[in-house]
């Protein structure tokens, strides 16, 4: 089997940073080019401006090759969001529940 993507999942924004997780997503020097698709996905069940700022600070340590995505899943209709870290910003994209 050939690896197509490297994906790391986290849930509920743990207080520790994500450096260990980002290290797992770095390219392996012994096997370069194995996969250029690298994703860090954070799944949340609560979200506010403090959460957004906290995640931005954590994502600053991600390698530029890692795509950081946040999935906020709400029980309330039309509150769920997908956020993508680009540059130094978390950009919100709403989706239909």
The larger pLDDT score, comparing residue 1 to residue 40, is at: 40
Q: How far apart are CA 14 and CA 10, in angstroms?
A: 8
Structure tokens at 9: 């999942």
Residue 89 scores a pLDDT above 90: no
Q: How far apart are CA 78 and CA 76, in angstroms?
A: 6
Taking residues 51-70, what's their average pLDDT? 89
Q: How far apart are CA 35 and CA 3, in angstroms?
A: 7
Predicted pLDDT at 37? 85
């Amino acid at each position: 089997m050939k690896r197509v993507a490297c994906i790391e999942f986290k849930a509920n924004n743990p207080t520790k940073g994500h450096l260990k997780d980002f290290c797992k997503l770095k390219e392996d020097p012994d096997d370069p080019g194995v996969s250029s698709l690298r994703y860090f996905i954070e799944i949340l069940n609560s979200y506010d401006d403090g959460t957004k700022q906290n995640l931005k600070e954590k994502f600053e340590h991600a390698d530029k090759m890692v795509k950081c995505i946040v999935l906020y899943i709400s029980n309330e209709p039309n509150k769920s969001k997908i956020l993508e870290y680009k540059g130094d910003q978390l950009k919100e994209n709403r989706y239909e529940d």
